[in-house]
């Protein structure tokens, strides 16, 4: 189950998984709950959609600046600043005395899977399984994706070595 305080945010997420015209039919409204909008979705689709969202949208250096420029998200900026201030104050006395050196990031050997325009997540998974072959470890729910090393493969769902 995916829960949201914003119906539009939940619909945007569902449109990554389902056809745009059917996304709104999957939203359950529960006005007396802390999250008034919900959708029941298979975990595999949630995992894949979150992975796609991360690879598509984490291209900024400052989250709050990005929110202020994102259509449909600007009204949340004050709340994000409030959360930042609360967490900054909480963490002040937990900071190390001596700053540690920054760890250099390394690139992951797997290329991110990218949805094609107007492609649902289910269509994306089927296309990738045709391209790379289904996983033998998890009954074909994932697909085998090549790693950066020649002859090495990994399943996108169970992360097993799988067989191509």
pLDDT digits (tens, 9 = 90+) for 5-28: 999 999 988 988 888 788 889 999
Give the pair of three-digit tokens for residue 106. Answer: 């390394």
User: What integer pLDDT is reported at residue 94 of this predicted model?
Assistant: 78
**3-state secondary structure (DSSP) of residue 53:** helix
Q: What is the C-alpha separation between 140 and 155, in angstroms, rounded?
A: 9
Q: Does pLDDT of 142 surpass 50?
A: yes
């Amino acid at each position: 189950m995916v829960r949201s305080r914003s119906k539009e945010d939940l619909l945007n997420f569902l449109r990554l998984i389902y056809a745009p015209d059917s996304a709104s039919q999957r939203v359950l409204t529960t006005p007396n709950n802390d999250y008034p909008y919900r959708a029941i979705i298979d975990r595999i689709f949630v995992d894949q959609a979150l992975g796609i969202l991360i690879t598509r949208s984490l291209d900024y250096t400052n989250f709050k600046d990005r929110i202020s420029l994102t259509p449909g998200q600007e009204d949340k900026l004050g709340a994000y600043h409030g959360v930042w201030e609360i967490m900054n104050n909480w963490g002040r006395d937990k900071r190390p005395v001596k700053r540690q050196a920054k760890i250099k990031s390394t690139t992951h050997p797997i290329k991110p899977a990218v949805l094609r325009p107007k492609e649902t997540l289910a269509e994306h998974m089927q296309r990738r399984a045709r391209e790379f072959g289904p996983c033998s470890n998890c009954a074909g729910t994932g697909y085998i994706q090549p790693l950066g090393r020649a002859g090495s493969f990994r399943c996108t769902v169970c992360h097993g070595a799988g067989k191509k």
